Amino acid sequence: MSWKITFLQQIVEADIFVKSTQISPHIELCQIDDSHWQQIAQIAKANQLRWAAGFAVQSGEQFHVHACFERKGAYLLFRTTINGAKPQLPSQATVYAAANRSERHTHDLFGIEFLQHPDSRGWTRHQAWGRHEYPLRHDFSVTGTPAEITPPDTSYHFVEAHGVGVYEIPVGPVHAGIIEPGHFRFQAVGELILNLEERLGYVHKGIEKIAEGRTPEGLAKLAGRVSGDTTVSHTWAACMAMEHAAGVEIPRRAALIRGIFAERERIANHLGDIGAICNDVAFTFAFMQMMRLKELWCRTNYELFGHRFLMDKIVAGGVNIDINDAAGKFMLIEIEDLRVELAQIIPAIDLSSSLEDRIYTAGYLSPQTAELFGTLGFVGRASGQNFDVRRDAPYAPYENVKVKVPLETQGDIASRFWVRYKEINASLKLIEQFIAQLELLPEGDLLAPWTIPDNGSFGLGIVEGWRGEIITYVEFGRNNVISRFYPRDPSQVNWEPLEKAVLNNIVPDFPVCNKSFNCSYSGSDL
Amino acid sequence: MFDIFKKIVTTGIVTETYKAAYDEELATLGIEIKHRIDKQFSGSLAIRQVDAGSCNGCELEIHALNNPFYDVERFGIHFVASPRHADILLVTGVVSRHMQTALLRTYEATPDPKWVIAMGDCATCGGEFGTSYASCGAVSNVIPVDMTISGCPPTPLVLLKSLLSLMEK
């Protein structure tokens, strides 16, 4: 923790008063004055802290604005309070690129102005509500006052390029495949991509707003639908935050079951992604084989636990389904089968020179760029970002198992392919260990008694979802009711590095580059 | 190359047999059909999928239809890249207000005769998200719907049976 001492020393030397409290083993809350908001970011950057998340909370006539930083598994949650009459704050996006869209999101939904922000355009708001209306303020009703038909947003000013032979390709929001909606604006010469700009926000469903007033059960259900492919991990993060706020500790058995579910989710998605990457370069053999394995995996979820993606199995205080001995044994056999299958398929894929030709060196994200944006998960780890919440800020049940974190530095599509494959193997080992531990515990101890949290108590849930670190903030109002919910999906961070990774690639390679990142639109738009 | 052929041969054919749902079965599977597809279109259906505001859970299950177990194309059902090539719009999610115009334009771009399937609880009745400042709720609030498939998300089995039941025999 020596970096923390140096960091806090520098803050004191800069005459910044910090009131700090350790709120959980890995998280420290630091309250500062709003005038130092940007300066804190500068000192954080100089000390190599990663900007992890930013969000606001309304409290009466004031706003509490938060920025979460991380280094070596220790989190610092900075909080400042600003006046609601003219809410303004110096921007941290001038220091951290990762804060850019997050601050624009906070602006669109709270009306907090971030001074000197490098980009004055909106982000999440298109035309569904007025320019001077802010949905997450308490005086904005959940129904709003929408027009009969919400017009398209034609005012967004994209970056333009001029020159001989330069042309533009607008793509979306409705894409050609079976994927989520979003808009991509390419500037290209011939086949070469000169610039890509993403325009998201199309699937903004008001998740943060409709979370208000929910019970813990209701919030767990909603969190499970922030991004459908990450249903386990998002529910887990939200429940962890609620448990943190309520001071509830879940039974060991429940933690192990959550761990098994989260690793099963990781494996299912990685299997699908490896197949889909191959499909995007027309390598059908690998696609069909991996989709077959994923289907078998999902069927096991359905047979043992009643849902193919394990939705709504995690609840505040624990889990609502047990894993008995028979189910554990079934999963162990399945793991062995999967290993045999992969040992046959992966070498066959690896020997394919045409696949190699397409995925090596393509979609290159340099370790420097990855670091600049605080890139998360397998995308970050394929570009040398050696971070995994499960290892670096472990939470139950990961504290007493060895979590192997595969790392690559090549930063291309192939690296993201191989990191996924290695993560499947690591996850299989974790599941085996969790099942072994489960056998030593009595069946049925799944749920801790719930304590109603005090009005205003808050919690932070940080877990490693299959895409990477998820940070979820939950605050309670009176009578066990949620007053604020903010889930930071890793995609919110990873979308911007994609813009950089596709530069100098050819337009026809965009789908496979995009697939190798596989960011969530829903988890990003909220 | 030899490894690939060996794996293909040893894997064999995993494709399963599926039939359309009986009329009595429809309700238990959460399927509601308002208008069936005319006989002359049966056996060759082009589907354009539109995510109007889903969590992407439904998309995963639509993807599964193309895996070798379900192999939807053997029934003459295929997914196309443009609404202009489509007979059916398969819409998932609540319709977010930011997607409302895009969905209306996609609907207009689909040539007649066309059918709309609302897939999943969100598209069917608003699901977990409902109607709000950001969401128009169910798909039928925005465009006419011919069939609904509930479930969160509906399994590929239910989805496949629904598509087969939609066609008049």
Asked whether the beta carbons of residue A285 and residue B54 sit closer than 8 angstroms, the reply is no
- Window 85-124 of B, Cβ < 8 Å to A: 93-94, 96-102, 104, 106
User: What is the rounded CA–CA span in Å between residue A87 and residue A199?
Assistant: 26
Average pLDDT, chain B: 91
Check CB contact of B52 with chain A, cutoff 8 Å. yes
Chain B residue with CA closest to A224: the answer is B55
User: What is the rounded CA–CA span in Å between residue A128 and residue A282?
Assistant: 39
**What H or E segment, with its residue span, contains residue A186?**
strand A183-189
- Window 145-174 of A, Cβ < 8 Å to B: 145-146, 149-153, 173-174
- SS3 sequence, A287-323? HHHHHHHHHHHHHHHHHHHCCCCCCCCEECCEECCCC
pLDDT at B30: 83
Asked whether the beta carbons of residue A209 and residue B133 sit closer than 8 angstroms, the reply is yes
Alpha-carbon Rg for chain B, nearest whole angstrom, is 17
How many beta-carbon contacts under 8 Å exist across A and B? 174
Chain B CB contacts of A229 under 8 Å are 56-57, 60
Asked whether the beta carbons of residue B132 and residue A205 sit closer than 8 angstroms, the reply is yes
Check CB contact of A465 with chain B, cutoff 8 Å. no
Beta-bridged to residue A482, according to DSSP, are A476
From start to end of B6-100, where are the E strands?
A: 31-33, 45-51, 77-79, 88-92
What's the gap between Cα A256 and its chain centre?
A: 22
Q: Token pair of B50, please?
A: 């539109």
Distance from CA of B97 to the nearest CA of A (A): 6
Chain B CB contacts of A204 under 8 Å are 96, 98, 134
What's the CA angle centered on A49, arms A44 and A51, to 5 degrees? 90
A453 preceded by a cis bond (ω within 30 of 0): no
Identify whether residues A267 and A414 lie together within a single domain.
Answer: yes
User: What is the rounded CA–CA span in Å between residue B78 and residue A499?
Assistant: 31
Identify whether residues A316 and A464 lie together within a single domain.
Answer: yes
Chain B CB contacts of A176 under 8 Å are 81-82
C-alpha neighbours within 13 Å on the C-beta side of residue B55: 27
User: What is the rounded CA–CA span in Å between residue A498 and residue A480?
Assistant: 40
Q: Which DSSP symbol is given to A116?
A: T
Q: Residue A229 is nearest to which of B56, B66, B129, comparing CB atoms?
A: B56
What's the CA angle centered on A286, arms A331 and B44, to 5 degrees? 105
Distance from CA of A407 to the nearest CA of B (A): 28
**pLDDT (tens digit, 9 = 90+) per residue, A387-443?**
999 999 999 999 989 999 999 999 999 999 999 999 999 999 999 999 999 989 988
Contact A498, A383 (CB under 8 A): no
Distances (CA, A) of A463 to A59, A72, A469: 27, 15, 6
**Local structure of A428: helix, strand or coil:** helix
Q: Which one of B67, B89, B105, B129 makes the best mutation probe of the A interface by having the most chain A beta carbons within 10 Å?
A: B67
Query: Would A14 be classed as within a structural domain?
Result: no
Distance from CA of B38 to the nearest CA of A (A): 25
Q: In this structure, which amino acid lies at residue A41?
A: A
Q: Which CATH number fits domain B2-166: 3.40.50.360, 3.40.50.10300, 3.40.50.12280, 3.10.580.10?
A: 3.40.50.12280
Query: Would A366 be classed as within a structural domain?
Result: yes
- Structural domain containing residue A172: 166-199
- Domains identified in chain A, total number: 3
Identify whether residues A186 and A130 lie together within a single domain.
Answer: no
User: What is the rounded CA–CA span in Å between residue A373 and residue A70?
Assistant: 13
Distance from CA of B135 to the nearest CA of A (A): 6
Beta-bridged to residue B33, according to DSSP, are B147
Identify whether residues A58 and A177 lie together within a single domain.
Answer: no
Distance from CA of A293 to the nearest CA of B (A): 10
Q: Residue B57 is nearest to which of A150, A309, A352, comparing CB atoms?
A: A309
User: What is the rounded CA–CA span in Å between residue B85 and residue B81?
Assistant: 8
Asked whether the beta carbons of residue A203 and residue B96 sit closer than 8 angstroms, the reply is yes
**pLDDT (tens digit, 9 = 90+) per residue, A165-209?**
999 999 989 988 899 999 999 999 999 999 999 999 999 999 999
User: What is the rounded CA–CA span in Å between residue A517 and residue A498?
Assistant: 7
User: What is the rounded CA–CA span in Å between residue A226 and residue A329?
Assistant: 32
Is residue B111 classed exposed, middle or buried when 0-12, 13-18 and 19+ CB atoms within 10 A define those classes? exposed
Chain A CB contacts of B155 under 8 Å are 302, 308
- Window 196-255 of A, Cβ < 8 Å to B: 201-207, 209-210, 221-222, 225-229, 231
Among residues A202, A233, A234, which one has the least CA distance to residue A219? A234
Q: Residue A179 is nearest to which of B59, B82, B102, comparing CB atoms?
A: B59
User: What is the rounded CA–CA span in Å between residue B45 and residue B10?
Assistant: 32
Identify whether residues A175 and A116 lie together within a single domain.
Answer: no
Please list the ranges in chain A whose pLDDT falls under 50. none
Identify whether residues A298 and A436 lie together within a single domain.
Answer: yes
Asked whether the beta carbons of residue A128 and residue B52 sit closer than 8 angstroms, the reply is no
For residue B43, count other CB atoms closer than 10 A to its CB.
10
User: What is the rounded CA–CA span in Å between residue A9 and residue A12?
Assistant: 5
What's the CA angle centered on A398, arms A395 and A404, to 5 degrees? 125
Asked whether the beta carbons of residue A181 and residue B99 sit closer than 8 angstroms, the reply is yes
Q: Annotate A143-174 with b (16+ C-beta within 10 A) or e (fewer).
A: ebebeeebebbeeeeeeeeeeeeeeeeeebbb
Query: Would A513 be classed as within a structural domain?
Result: no
**H-type alpha helices, A383-509:** 389-392, 413-438, 491-501
Asked whether the beta carbons of residue B55 and residue A178 sit closer than 8 angstroms, the reply is no
Contact B55, B111 (CB under 8 A): no
Q: Strands A318-319 and A314-315: what pairing?
A: antiparallel
Query: Would A234 be classed as within a structural domain?
Result: yes
Among residues B19, B2, B14, which one has the least CA distance to residue B165? B19
Chain B CB contacts of A126 under 8 Å are 97-98
Query: Would A153 be classed as within a structural domain?
Result: no
pLDDT at B22: 83
Q: Which DSSP symbol is given to B142?
A: T
Check CB contact of B51 with chain A, cutoff 8 Å. yes
What's the length of chain B?
169
Average pLDDT, chain A: 94
Check CB contact of A137 with chain B, cutoff 8 Å. no
Is residue A86 classed exposed, middle or buried when 0-12, 13-18 and 19+ CB atoms within 10 A define those classes? exposed
Q: Which residues contact A139 (CB under 8 A, 6 or more apart)?
A: none
Distance from CA of A11 to the nearest CA of B (A): 41
Asked whether the beta carbons of residue A203 and residue B93 sit closer than 8 angstroms, the reply is yes
Distance from CA of A345 to the nearest CA of B (A): 7
Among residues A453, A388, A394, which one has the least CA distance to residue A242? A453
Identify whether residues A301 and A422 lie together within a single domain.
Answer: yes
Residue B169 predicted with pLDDT over 70: no
Q: Ramachandran region of residue A116, left (φ > 0), alpha (ψ -120 to 50) or beta?
A: left
Beta-bridged to residue A31, according to DSSP, are A19, A79
Alpha-carbon Rg for chain A, nearest whole angstrom, is 23
Contact A71, A50 (CB under 8 A): yes
Chain B residue with CA closest to A134: the answer is B133
User: What is the rounded CA–CA span in Å between residue A396 and residue A388?
Assistant: 14
Asked whether the beta carbons of residue B98 and residue A285 sit closer than 8 angstroms, the reply is no
Identify whether residues A241 and A386 lie together within a single domain.
Answer: yes
Distance from CA of B126 to the nearest CA of A (A): 11
Identify whether residues A259 and A391 lie together within a single domain.
Answer: yes
Chain B residue with CA closest to A342: the answer is B7
For residue A357, count other CB atoms closer than 10 A to its CB.
11
**What is the DSSP secondary-structure string of A193-236?**
EEEEEEE--TT---HHHHHTT--HHHHHHHHTTSSGGGHHHHHH
Contact A123, A201 (CB under 8 A): yes
**pLDDT (tens digit, 9 = 90+) per residue, B63-93?**
999 999 999 998 888 999 999 999 999 999 9
For residue A12, count other CB atoms closer than 10 A to its CB.
10
Q: Residue B132 is nearest to which of A209, A229, A285, comparing CB atoms?
A: A209
Place of tokens 């990961």: A398
**Local structure of A177: helix, strand or coil:** coil
Distance from CA of A57 to the nearest CA of B (A): 19
Asked whether the beta carbons of residue B97 and residue A180 sit closer than 8 angstroms, the reply is no
Identify whether residues A385 and A465 lie together within a single domain.
Answer: yes
Q: Residue A128 is nearest to which of B56, B130, B134, comparing CB atoms?
A: B134
Check CB contact of B15 with chain A, cutoff 8 Å. no
Instruction: Name the pLDDT band for B168 (thresholds 50, 70, 90).
Output: low
Asked whether the beta carbons of residue B69 and residue A292 sit closer than 8 angstroms, the reply is yes
